Chains A and B, each alone.
Chain A
Amino acid sequence: MILVFIEHKDCVLNKTSLEAVAAAQAIGKDLGLKATAVIPCGSGECTLAQEIAGYDLEKVIVAKSEKLGTYTPDGYADAWEQVIKATNPQYVVMSHTYQVRDFAPKVAARLGREVVGDVIRYRAEGGKLVLTRRIFLGKLDADVTVGGEAPYFVTFQSGSFRGENAAKGSAAVETMDVSVGDLRMTPEAPFQEAKASVDLTKSEIIVAVGRGIKSQENIAVAQQLADVLGADLAASRPICDNDWLPIDRQIGSSGQTVAPKVYIALGISGAIQHIVGMKNAGTIVAINKDAEAPIFDIADYGIVGDLFEAVPVMVEEIKKANG
């Protein structure tokens, strides 16, 4: 069997979990295994269980302990260890979210195993999986195999599977009481730093700058392009880390996820963490000096060259076109 993790906050589903369900179903089909969903849950009714039971799964296991109400790595590791030992899965499949990155390697390590993380696709060969992950900041792909006995732990990058492709069905819900030991960490309530004053998810056109912009002063170059296009300005993480643009302009896994009609990436190499935030843009334009930058793998139009030569010319041409 395959266990698939359902992530939630106060019973509100993290949508990437449906991608994990789709991944587990696909692997199950290829290897002849059934998938079972696991929902860690605190006290009270698990309102999410019925929703997940509407998918084509063998079972939905609600792993229950009053100490699982708020996420902690110790609590989740204890719960998962017991569920795995009780069910003996072949594979444990999860979405590569920040929460999963926090606890999954701990669970695997307890069982003397590791996680094949941030996988983008797989193929089945001789009853086992060959898993592909990105290495060197997205510049190369690596096909990876895992030795030894099951269980094998796999986390999939967001977007590798489509949640709406998760097959519907009807699964039985089962509650498993788990015992959670002492928690060595005390969580406070999650919060948003500053309410994002800029909502880039509604933008039609985005001009985004990365490391290649080189200095805060140079952001004016990108701003001019944004102005003539009626676009919003955004940035990759290093720009916001340097305070060259405020954090509410950040695109990527730790910032906003956008899907504008056009996304123009200036001097952005295209690390995975950035790409997950913008790859669903209608048209992607990349201007970068480095011909091997991963951003070109997903770009519709590319200019390999100096953005400081290209952008002023673009501004002039657009002004001409606009009359």
Chain B
Amino acid sequence: MKIIVLMKQVANKDAVLRISADEKWINEADVAQQTNESDGYALEEALRMKEAKGEGEVIVCSLGPQSAKTVIKDALARGADRAVHVVVDDSKTLSPYQIAAAIVDAIREENADLVFAGLQSDDSSFGQTGVILAELLGIPHATIVIEVDRSKLNGTVRLKRELESGWYQWFTYQTPALLTIQSGISQIRYASLKGIMAAKKKEIRDVAPTIADLAGKQTIQKVYLPLKTKQTQLLGNGDAKAGAVELVEKLKVEVRVI
């Protein structure tokens, strides 16, 4: 069984973001990077499926600049067998269809049984690269997957999708299929020292893609801080304890819940 896991390097969740001079993105140079959260869960689920099956191969695929090697090496250290790096320096200007098409070119020949991706990225949040990729590969997809029945993996895969408001639904899919994985599907393992050492010998195949123009591409014209919908009263002026005293006063006098 061969599983490809799509992983993306994104700005750290807690990073302070500064808008770039051209107002089309952020200054990435001064921001710490990390693996996109749901992609980490996608890798974990792939590793667990391989373990449950007792055989197979987990291949990590990332599209991005050379710095994305950090994400790839971390995935190899956690247990992925090898990697495909679609090297694109200026990946932030690509739209989801372009990204999906470039990845399809790089992985089509692998003929994977399953392709896993995170639900959406924490930077662009297109939430559709995986779905488009499945369509281009000609395979079915399921989004927002929160559980995979690892006991049933023979030409089909049974998976649980999250619906809204606490509802769920099981589906059985023909394979090959693409699944987008929801954060929290399982506990993510840490890389062991042994894993880190072993990762150094694992193959990373660099691919230089041809990025096709797309007429219907979506393009960011301007990035800016969200317009505030409310006037926030900031209390305490940086002193949390003083703020707490003021807040209780407000809850008593203005909101009247105390």
Which residues of A are interface residues toward B (Cβ below 8 A)?
72-74, 97-99, 101-102, 104-106, 108-110, 112-118, 130, 133-149, 152, 184-193, 196, 204-205, 229, 237-238, 240-241, 247-248, 253-257, 261-262, 269, 282-287, 290, 292, 294, 296-307, 309-311, 313-314, 317-318, 321-322
Point out the residues of chain A lying under 8 angstroms from B136, CB to CB.
109
Tell whether A294 pairs with B250 under 8 Å between CB atoms, given A144-B218, A303-B243: no
Partner of A193, one of B140, B168, B183, B225: B168
Tell whether A318 pairs with B248 under 8 Å between CB atoms, given A144-B220, A298-B229: yes
Q: Is the CB of B258 within 8 A of A321?
A: yes
Query: Whole-angstrom distance from the CB of A205 to the nearest CB of chain B?
Result: 6
Q: Is the CB of A143 within 8 A of B222?
A: yes
User: How far is B243's CA from A301's CA once the two chains are assembled, in angstroms?
Assistant: 10
Segment among B53-61, B70-78, B81-89, B121-129 that sits at the interface with chain A:
B121-129
Point out the residues of chain B lying under 8 angstroms from A105, CB to CB.
96, 127-128, 131-132, 135
Q: Is the CB of B248 within 8 A of A305?
A: no
User: How far is B234's CA from A121's CA once the two chains are assembled, in angstroms?
Assistant: 27
Q: Is the CB of B245 within 8 A of A145?
A: no
Q: Is the CB of B17 within 8 A of A303?
A: no
Q: List 14 A-B contacts (CB under 8 A).
A: A104-B128, A105-B131, A112-B215, A113-B97, A117-B126, A130-B221, A136-B122, A147-B216, A185-B142, A188-B171, A309-B241, A317-B248, A318-B258, A321-B248
Is B217 on the interface with A (CB-CB < 8 A)? yes
Partner of A301, one of B174, B226, B250: B250
Q: Point out which of B11, B97, B142, B162 has the most chain A C-beta atoms below 10 A from its C-beta.
A: B97
Partner of A106, one of B134, B168, B172, B183: B134
Q: Is the CB of A298 within 8 A of B14?
A: no
Is B244 on the interface with A (CB-CB < 8 A)? yes
Point out the residues of chain A lying under 8 angstroms from B122, CB to CB.
136-137
Partner of B232, one of A137, A301, A314: A301
Q: Is the CB of A314 within 8 A of B164?
A: no
Point out the residues of chain B lying under 8 angstroms from A149, CB to CB.
215-216
Query: Whole-angstrom distance from the CB of A116 to the nearest CB of chain B?
Result: 5
User: How far is B251's CA from A292's CA once the two chains are assembled, in angstroms?
Assistant: 23
Tell whether A101 pairs with B143 under 8 Å between CB atoms, given A188-B169, A300-B232: yes
Is B165 on the interface with A (CB-CB < 8 A)? yes
Tell whether A73 pairs with B169 under 8 Å between CB atoms, given A303-B240, A310-B240: no
Query: Whole-angstrom distance from the CB of B97 to the nearest CB of chain A?
Result: 5
Q: Is the CB of B141 within 8 A of A106?
A: yes
User: How far is B131's CA from A138's CA once the two chains are assembled, in angstroms?
Assistant: 23
Query: Ordered nearest first, which 9 A-B pairs have the shortest CB separation?
Result: A305-B240, A241-B184, A148-B215, A105-B128, A148-B216, A303-B243, A313-B244, A317-B248, A309-B240
Point out the residues of chain A lying under 8 angstroms from B228, CB to CB.
297
A140-B19, A190-B169 known, 13 other contacts, Cβ within 8 Å: A108-B132, A109-B136, A113-B97, A114-B128, A114-B217, A136-B26, A144-B221, A184-B177, A193-B168, A254-B164, A262-B255, A303-B234, A314-B247
Query: Whole-angstrom distance from the CB of B231 to the nearest CB of chain A?
Result: 8
Tell whether A303 pairs with B236 under 8 Å between CB atoms, given A105-B132, A313-B241: yes
Q: Point out which of A101, A102, A105, A269 has the most chain B C-beta atoms below 10 A from its C-beta.
A: A105
Q: Is the CB of B142 within 8 A of A254?
A: no
Point out the residues of chain B lying under 8 angstroms from A143, CB to CB.
220-224
User: How far is B176's CA from A41's CA once the two chains are assembled, in angstroms?
Assistant: 28
Point out the residues of chain B lying under 8 angstroms from A257, CB to CB.
165
Query: Whole-angstrom distance from the CB of A296 to the nearest CB of chain B?
Result: 6
Closest residue of B by beta carbon distance from A188: B170
User: How far is B123's CA from A261's CA once the two chains are assembled, in angstroms?
Assistant: 32
Tell whether A254 pairs with B234 under 8 Å between CB atoms, given A135-B125, A139-B17, A190-B167: no
User: How far is B19's CA from A283's CA once the two chains are assembled, in angstroms?
Assistant: 30
User: How far is B229's CA from A52's CA once the two chains are assembled, in angstroms?
Assistant: 31
User: How far is B121's CA from A118's CA once the two chains are assembled, in angstroms?
Assistant: 13
Query: Whole-angstrom distance from the CB of A216 to the nearest CB of chain B?
Result: 14
8 A Cβ contacts from B205-221 to A:
214-221
